[in-house]
A and B are shown apart, each in its own frame.
Chain A
Amino acid sequence: VSGASRGLRRPGACLAGTLTALAAYSADSRARAEDGANYALHGFILVDVSFRVSGENPPGFGDVAFAEERARLEATLEAADVDAAARFKLDGFNDSLVNRSGVELREAYIDYRVGPFDFRLGRQILSWGVGDLQFVNDVFPKDYAAFFLGRPIEYLKVPNDALRTTLTFEPVAVDLVAIPFVTPDGVPGRDRFVYGFDPFSSLAAQPPSLPEPSWQNTELAGRLRLSVGETDFALYAFRGFFHTPSLVPDDPLAPTAISALFPALDVYGASVQRNLLGGVVSAEAGYYHSRDNASSEDPTRPPSRAKWLVGYQSEVATDLTLGAQYIGQWTRHHSAYRASLPPGAPVLDAYVQTATVRLTLLLFHQTLRLSAFVFAGISERDLLAIPEAEYQVSDRLSLVLGANLFAGEHPDTTFGVFRSNSNVYTWARFSF
């Protein structure tokens, strides 16, 4: 009860954000300067709440898992005579649950296009690959906490400070991304999530030690894309670090503290996507080479793995789309990996299989979207189902109601670990 009331107590910061945004909007949302340079101002106001429905709550918190007011300002500046633009997305937020207000710079980058080159420098969201909410070669940081709380999908992606260079000679394009500052995944925190299995819960957590920014630690990612009409091919490579921290106890036998490390990672992969069988067929594979744990004998670092997926998506009837994916994951040196783990630690099978299904139905001239997304862990016997309805009240206002429903036989599997965190979420967004 206390959590819920706390979440609804502080409208002040939210109000300030709203006023700023409205002021900016009423000034002139779209203008053109005299010299031909162009600027535009946009944004939204978002109110987002998520309630746990399991009855179990983290110590000191109520049923409210997330409650936030957020205002976004998005400014775009386009240069007059060169093909260049700058874009800023700045969020002001007030997290009513933990009583924290602040600003978050979501994106801030400069685009420059010259000859066959496209450069994008600055904070940006990086994304590629052909999976639907399944990432093989897209190893850029993700915020699963945001995803599991039902926040708008763009918050699943964590921006990177990076330089992206694309060299295009149609039908071939090469992307090269350099990320000097390693950004970790957003990990569901203990203030918002109840962990089913948490061996280190009683230990003091050291602040995560990210790789120091340096030439050696600059993450590099590359993609070579070839599009021949109905088929898109791509090759991927990544050299950098795991973005999900490995938790390392200071003493494996009698731990007193844990630290979060980001072991070195190389990824190589490929994908193909084409129109087939009345829909789109995708396939993607990647090999994760755990550079610091080549022989898989170090329990504190992930072993090397291969991951692949096959997917199909089709519009089975007017405004009804069906998608399905099969995901396989294979652990290299599995016996060495298993042998290295301390007793009692969860062991991942040599082969782990997952399937996903997505159904989307559009109604009333596409103003009402009903969708269901299900992750089914075939090997791990766990499940995450996300039913969602989105209604566009007007061109500016949309309302979303959905749920994240976790289930699992075991408390130590991907979704099973969150089985006490099933939640219902709703958000409203006013765009301008």
Chain B
Amino acid sequence: MKRIVTFSVDHPWLTIGLVSLLTLLLGSFLPRIQLDTDPKNMLEKSAPVRIANERVEQEFALLPVTIVVGVVSESGIFGKDALGRFLALTTAISAVEGVVARDVVSLATTNNAVLHGDDLQIRPVLRRAPASDEEASAVRAEALANPTFVGRLFSADGRAAAIYVPLEAGADAAAIADGIRGAIAKVGPPEHVYLAGDPIVSETIAVEVFRQLAIFSPLAGLFMIVALSLIFRNVRMVVAVMGISVISTVWAMGLHVALGLTVHLMSAMIPVFLMAIATDSVHIFNELGFRLRNGTPKRQAIVDSLAVVGRPVIFSDLTTAAGFAALASSTFPAIRLFGIFVAVGTVAILILSFTLVPALLSVADEKRLGGGAERAEPSRLSSRLLAALGRFAVARSGVIALVGLVLFAAAGAGMSRIRINNNMVDWFGASSEVRTADRTLNEHLAGTSLGYVVVRGPDGIFSQPEGLRFLEGLGARLANEPRVGKVVSLADVVKQSSVAVRGGESFREIPDSRETIAQLLLLVGSGSRPQDLDNFIDYRAANANVYVQLETWDVDAFQRVIASSQEYLAQHPLEGVRLQPAGMAYFNLIWNDEMLVGMVSSFAWGLVFVLVLLMWEYRSLTIGVFAFLPLFLTTFFIYGVLGIIGKDFDMPISVLSTLTLGLADDFAIHFVSRLKGRLAEANSGTLDDALRWTIERPGLGIVRNAVVFSAAFVVMVFAGFSPYVTVGVLMASIMLLSSLATLLFLPALFRLFPQVLGPRERTLALVGASVSCLLWIWLAPATARADSTAEASVSQRMGDSQRMDADEIVRREYLAYYYPGTDLRANVTMRLITKGGEQRERRLTMLRRNVGAGGADQRYLIFFQKPDDVRRTSFLVWKYPNRDDDRWLFMPAVELVRRIAASDERSSFVGSDFTYEDISGRDLSSDTRTLLRKEKLGEWECFVIESKPTGDGTDYARRVTWIDAQTFLPRKEEYYDQRGRPLKVFSGDEISVVEGMPTLTRRSMKDLTTGHTTIVEMTEVDYDVGVSEDVFSERYLRRPPPQWIRE
């Protein structure tokens, strides 16, 4: 370390040059930055809740991303002109690009069934602009007569109406919101028009995070510069500190981008965190100031300062890095990346502290530096204050410890009152556009937050009276929940059509006969918008969807909905029925739980990491615990205050808690290290003297660090976005609390337990390690929480198969054959049979998962069970559609993982007649295809497709495939050579429906030239079991997860 410092002092320009070069190099990657601003994407695309939600959406033809447009008028929206404008508005909005026009829901689009004389009409309430006031009031009367509309499509008082605007999958919500605003401006209604709903909130959060970051992080930097200048009055010192934070940010973010990783919202916070951590270098300047004042020559002073401050700086930075690196234990990629790159940045800060800082100092004009240091001499006042503090801390150690204990107890009491909740709308200021819109719409309508409760039962149950009565009861129960605005289920639809068909309110009931119900359902389903029925029930009448509109974004509201529906089911049991929550409200609930709980458990890991490191560094359990206390107390105290003032423990707070890992302990480390150093000196005097010296001299550095820092971040309190206010308040309080805790409680503790500083305690490496192991084991269940298994059953909706071309058919074949489910677990038996009838058997367990954008990449983990001499051999494949696979093989006999060559996709898979390509799918782009005909193969209607490879490298010239028109699975495939002779024949022998997905469970391939046949059977096939992406790695290749490889 000393050599590095000396080198940097002696070759300052070279050092500065090298640092600049590296910075330029890494900085050059920054323009390639890829941002992902959707807070939802912090939860993996393949998270079970996302998968389950997507299934429910598919099943009920729901469009998950919906903007709510609310029209509010004090004079009512049922006037002649107002209705006309509303119709125009609906039409204009439907025309916006990216909006799924046919699914827009409003009074002007949703069908209503009414009886006109004997004539039953099914059409929207508002189908044309009313020509007269009478017509307008007729519209009103008709709308009011349909309770499924009231509260959802318009308010009961007639002052508000809503348009629900679903967005196409993957559409740019911001652009569409702008398009909608444009449409509104074009229609120009005098009514107030509000935009609300999840896309608006998410989009606005993304915009706000970056916008406010752009305002406040430079502002914080500026305040920091001012504070630094006031303290040190030396440009070079200020430049050094700021330079470190900027350069470390460039390094960390440059590397982040260079590795091709998407920058999520969390990673966007990295610069702010690094700016905070960089202030650690203040300790170096503090010490340098003292030394220069003593008349030490500059070069010597620099080297000496770094020698004494070096160890605590290294150690506190490493502790910080370790603390953040512990966030890598999170199951969420966004948190993981954030933790890792803050750690990277911290290490960069550490490196820079010993290279760039001495280099910059040594090129500083000696006189000016000296002069600066002269002025950097602590003012009388701060010296006197610290001296007084030192005397107080030493003299009143008992009282301080007692106060500490009381505060600790109080904080504990406060913590027990903490409410974990997340409400993204509340992140905005009370008068912000987002919150106003949300509040107004929630006042008038049934709520902007939508969740579903899916009721699953046996086939046909929801076309029977008891099924519908169950839904009716469930709906009534949920509607009674305090923050639920509206509940609509199939029961309401049936009742409404019953009224319409039978002509009178008295018929608002569930009919007693199956036939009547079937007729009513047929009637509703035959309207021009089949989705009006599809949204509520699937075609087998086995699954029904209950809409729950909530008036709040508080996640616990939907939690109550779930609990309440479970209670209802328990009280009214119905054979084979179970419940599954879904929808955006449920997503937010899970997002909240997973992220928050994940964050807290990662944070706990960080704390443990830091504690173990401290014990290790000081080779003492007690000193380790002491040095850990300021961090612990700070965290504890902040949480306690949150509990007492009743602020929700939400996402921003849980994220920022991790900051204590980086900051709160630095002071303690400096304090303890310097105290120990002082005690080791010959003339240190008594423990009390040493304590006073430590409070006065390194203590000044601590106070300066705290002041610089709080000054910088207190400015964020003025941001109009609560996560930033939280940043400001938390940073300032962490600084204040931990510096106080360090300067008051640590001396008190050391005075009360002086023996810990005596000759080294027992070496506690072993104890430390076992304690940490125990803690880890204790914490592990929280972090390793198994992904809850996603809900089953999806109905395969095959669109109109008549009009598809060959490419589309084969694409569907691939989806059905190679890609069903997000993941798969199956036992595979391959029987290799020679012409003479001799048999060999390969038994393997296969795990697959679709990953990457659109799930086009696949990962396979194949574990061999038989034959015995290859048992435990496992095989990992990362498959990409457009380039060579990555393949690894684990050979258990020599315990070695090897990467293996994978250029030849046509080589045989484990000696069978199937090739690698046959197992995992040939690149779609490597064939040209023609649809030959559609014909019956046995009893199955099939497409017959001819494929010809475009390149060479195949052992056949063309192949003809019979693809089942219903399931899109291959029934038969023939391979031919150049001369048209058949080479191989594939046959799909058995198709079973597994969890709603047709699956080829038995297939065979016969080589016609050798007479060799391979029969593949799949048993115990399971889709979406929740095999996480991590499983497809060397770790699990060596030792696959036992729960999945058991036969």
Contacts and interface: CB of A to CB of B under 8 A. Distances in A.
A70 interface: no
A38 B886 contact: no
Given A366-B908, A398-B869, A111 B1033 contact: no
B360 to A, nearest CB: 31
B1012 A280 contact: no
Majority-rule SS of A interface residues: strand
B: interface residue count bin: 35 or more
A83 interface: yes
Interface in B387-415: none
B908 A318 contact: yes
Given A275-B902, A280-B899, A365-B1012, A157 B1034 contact: no
Given A279-B901, A318-B906, A398-B869, A225 B895 contact: no
Interface residues of A, number: 64
A274 B779 CA distance: 36
A116 B329 contact: yes
B895 A126 contact: yes
A11 to B, nearest CB: 23
Contacts of B776: 114-115, 117
B798 interface: no
Interface stretch (A164-172, A292-300, A345-353): A164-172
Nearest to B915: A318
Contact of A157 (B328, B895, B903): B895
A173 interface: yes
Interface stretch (B18-26, B38-46, B690-698, B1035-1043): B1035-1043
Interface in B890-914: 893-896, 898-904, 906-908, 910-913
A127 interface: yes
Contacts of B1035: 118, 166, 168, 170, 173
Contacts of A398: 869
A396 B780 CA distance: 41
A115 B911 contact: no
Contact of B1034 (A225, A280, A362, A365): A225
Contacts of A381: none
B867 A396 contact: yes
A432 interface: yes
Contacts of A125: 894-895
A159 to B, nearest CB: 9
Nearest to B1042: A78
Interface string A324-368: 000000000000000000000000000000000000001001110
B1046 A157 contact: no
A365 B895 contact: no
Given A111-B1039, A395-B868, A315 B901 contact: yes
Residue picked from A38, A118, A317, A318, most chain B C-beta under 10 Å: A318
B704 to A, nearest CB: 35
Interface stretch (A56-64, A227-235, A254-262): A227-235
B907 A114 contact: no
Contact of B904 (A85, A152, A273, A315): A315
Interface in B755-808: 776-777, 779-780, 783-784
B868 to A, nearest CB: 4
A41 B840 CA distance: 21
B871 interface: yes
B901 A313 contact: yes
B884 interface: yes
B869 A227 contact: no
A228 B869 contact: no
A305 B868 CA distance: 42
B676 interface: no
B336 interface: yes
A91 B805 CA distance: 62
Q: Which of A173, A275, A314 has its CB near the most chain B CB atoms (within 10 A)?
A: A275
B896 A275 contact: no
Contacts of A317: 904
A42 interface: yes
B645 interface: no
A227 B1034 contact: yes
Given A111-B1039, A127-B894, A431-B869, A319 B329 contact: no
B868 A315 contact: no
B944 interface: no
A201 interface: no
A85 to B, nearest CB: 7
Given A83-B1042, A173-B1035, A432-B868, 9 more contacts: A30-B1047, A154-B893, A157-B895, A169-B329, A170-B1033, A171-B1033, A280-B900, A318-B955, A395-B840
26 contacts: A78-B1046, A114-B777, A115-B776, A116-B328, A118-B1035, A125-B895, A130-B899, A153-B893, A154-B894, A157-B894, A169-B325, A169-B329, A173-B1033, A273-B899, A275-B899, A279-B901, A280-B901, A314-B903, A318-B904, A365-B832, A365-B834, A365-B908, A366-B911, A394-B840, A395-B869, A396-B867
Interface of B: 259, 325, 328-329, 336, 340, 776-777, 779-780, 783-784, 832, 834, 840-841, 866-869, 871, 878, 884, 886, 893-896, 898-904, 906-908, 910-913, 955, 1012, 1029-1030, 1033-1035, 1039, 1041-1042, 1046-1047
Interface of A: 30, 38, 42, 44, 78, 83, 85, 111, 113-118, 124-128, 130, 152-154, 156-157, 166, 168-173, 225, 227-230, 232, 273-275, 278-280, 282, 313-315, 317-319, 321, 362, 365-367, 392, 394-396, 398, 429, 431-432
